[in-house]
Amino acid sequence: MTERTDAGLPLQGVKVLEMGQLIAGPFASKLLGEFGAEVIKIEPPGVGDPLRKWRKLKDGTSLWWHVQSRNKQSITLDLKEPEGQDIVRRLVAEADVLVENFRPGTLEGWGLGWDELEQINPRLIMLRISGYGQTGPYRDLPGFGVIGEAMGGLRHLTGHPGQPPVRVGVSIGDSLSSLYGVIGVLLALQERQRSGKGQSIDVALYESVFGMMESLIPEYDAFGHVREPAGSALPGITPSNSYRCNDGSYVLIAGNGDSIYKRLMNLIGRPDLGDDPRFAHNDGRSQHAELIDAAIGEWTARHSRSDIIEALKGARVPAGYPYTAADIVQDPHYLARQMIEQVQTFAGPLKVPGVLPKLSRTPGRIGTGGPQLGEHTDDVLAGLGLTNEQREGLRARGII
């Protein structure tokens, strides 16, 4: 387990108040916490963040929780009650960053919108992540990551031609929004050093996905071309595909660099394709992608995956295979780069993903696993000056 220390970390001294649930908002504050920010997470009394009950549970709590909520403090607070809202205002007065991913208008209905909170703390930076953003005709519609992935254009491109669209397998729309949100927070913190003022950051799930869509729009604008799903291939970039091996597994080969392509063709015994002037550059190869893929597939079908990987390494051709969780936790490269760490949690020791990005002088850290529900309520509220008697009164009324 990594020893917890915030000394010298990039975000040391930055206080983050998290008012969000599930994925997009909490993932953003997780990233901030890994680099030294103090993160106080507000959860509903009694039930907590629904993520606590998602996917596989151990001792009644999601294992995902110990990734998503590591390094955080948990307090319980009923945000629908005036007394709970008043505590939020007191916390905001001391915060640098507020992260929230409620449906637009929810915080305003509680008297906790940007206009109100900015008056309390003009230096506040407020990250707001929602399905469609804080403005526009769709702002009031509910939106999860899956909907953002669909509207952003990603779902149409996944899967195989003529088959139903498939999901990526993880909540990529939420996570992309978190990354954009963290970029926004860091930019706002930098700008605040000059102006002394905070600002709000508006991140929409669909826009975060849309921002990854490469040349989708200019291709449509210039040629009327609508990009379609292409299975495991990378349309317009050849060869780059997955190929079946003789043991039934698959190998991924990216031979789309001009010199790499020639080395690959020589390796598979097809120098005729490597020396063909039509295929000297990617645009020519892409016009004959089926021919080239078939030649590569004929070669891989005669060999095992391990032999193919070794041969491609020797020829300096980028190659790999789809890793499972079992592959990841025992891979020497993952281990050498500390991408698998063990953290002590209330459910016992657990292996979890390491911290990204990797800073040479002030790297991030994992101090603790996810907190138990309300674990830090008394400490945080005592820090605001609430006496034990006041806290017990709030607890008796279900506000904490």
Range of the domain at 260: 240-244+250-320
Q: Is residue 228 part of a domain?
A: no
Do 306 and 346 reside in the same domain of the chain?
no
Domain check: are 72 and 147 in the same one?
Answer: yes
Q: What is the pLDDT of residues 306-346, one digit of tens each?
A: 999 999 999 999 999 999 999 999 999 999 999 999 999 99
Please answer whether residues 40 and 376 qualify as being in contact, where contact means their C-beta atoms are separated by less than 8 angstroms. Answer: yes
Predicted pLDDT of residue 231: 87
pLDDT of amino acid 3: 41
Q: What is the mean pLDDT of residues 350-356?
A: 95
| Res. 266: pLDDT tops 90 | yes
Q: Which residue has the tokens 């998503």?
A: 68
Q: Is 364 contained in some domain?
A: yes
d(CA 131, CA 145): 7
Judgement on whether residues 175 and 129 belong to the same structural domain of the protein? yes
Same domain for 381 and 273? no
Q: What is the dihedral of CA 202, 208, 211, 213, to 10 degrees?
A: -160
Total number of domains in the chain: 2
121 within some domain: yes
Higher pLDDT, 1 or 365: 365
Q: What span, in angstroms and rounded, lies between the C-alpha atoms of 368 and 73?
A: 10
Give 357-363 contacts, CB < 8 A, sequence gap 24+. 359/10, 359/35, 362/8, 362/9, 362/10, 362/35
Q: Are 66 and 191 found together in one domain?
A: yes
pLDDT value of residue 6: 62
The span from the CA of 179 to the CA of 30, in Å, is: 11
> Which of residues 320, 348, 378 is at a domain's end?
320
Task: Label residue 281 by pLDDT band (50, 70, 90).
Answer: very high
Residue 106: per-residue pLDDT: 96
- The band of 285, judged by pLDDT with boundaries at 50, 70 and 90, is very high
Amino acid at the residue 248? G
What is residue 193's predicted lDDT score, i.e. its pLDDT?
A: 98
Mean pLDDT for 220-227 is 96
Instruction: Give the end of a domain, one of 320, 347, 365.
Output: 320
Task: Count how many residues are written for the chain.
Answer: 400
Domain annotation covers residue 202: yes
Q: Cβ atoms within 10 A of the Cβ of 309, count? A: 18
Q: Is residue 326 part of a domain?
A: no
In this prediction, residue 166 has a pLDDT band, given cuts at 50, 70 and 90, of confident
For the chain, give the mean pLDDT.
Answer: 95
For residues 117 and 91, state if they share a domain: yes
Asked whether residue 87 falls in the same domain as residue 166, the answer is yes
Q: Which pLDDT score is estimated for 340?
A: 96
Asked, for residue 367, whether it belongs to a domain, the answer is yes
Select from 263, 293, 320 the last residue of a domain: 320
* 360 assigned to some structural domain: yes
Residue 4: predicted pLDDT:
43
Q: Where residue 167 falls among pLDDT bands split at 50, 70, 90?
A: confident
Contact 296, 243 (CB under 8 A): yes
Buried b (16+ CB within 10 A) or exposed e, 190-229: eebeeeeebbbbbbbbbbbbbeeeeebeeeeeeeeeebeb
> Alpha-carbon distance 95 to 79, whole Å?
17
CATH code for position 373: 3.40.50.10540
DSSP output for 271-314: HHHHH-GGGSSHHHHHTTHHHHHHHHHHHHTTS-HHHHHHHHHH
Single-letter amino acid, residue 318: P
In this structure, the answer to whether residues 296 and 377 fall within a common structural domain is no
CB 381 within 8 A of CB 82: no
Q: Do both 257 and 381 map to the same domain?
A: no
Indicate whether 310 and 199 sit together in one domain: no
User: Quick one: pLDDT at residue 103?
Assistant: 95
Give the 3-state secondary structure of residue 30: helix
CA distance 240 to 245: 16
pLDDT, tens digit, 9 for 90 and up, residues 68-106: 999 999 999 999 999 999 999 999 999 999 999 999 999
Pair (310, 341) in one structural domain = no
**Where does residue 243 rank: exposed (0-12), middle (13-18), buried (19+ CB within 10 A)?**
buried
Q: What is the pLDDT of residues 369-382, one digit of tens each?
A: 999 999 999 999 99
Pair 284, 381 in one domain? no
Active site residue 49: no
Active-site pick, 49, 174, 202, 293: 174
Weakest mean pLDDT among 1-10, 233-242, 321-330, 383-392 = 1-10
CA–CA distance, 5 with 344 (Å, rounded to integer): 15
Output the domain CATH number for residue 303. Answer: 3.30.1540.10
**What's the pLDDT at 5?**
53
- Confirm whether 226 is domain-assigned: no
Rounded to whole angstroms, how far apart are CA atoms 278 and 203?
45
Residue by residue, DSSP assigns 170-219 as: S-HHHHHHHHHHHHHHHHHHHHHHHH---EEEEEEHHHHHHTT-TTHHHH
pLDDT of residue 7: 65
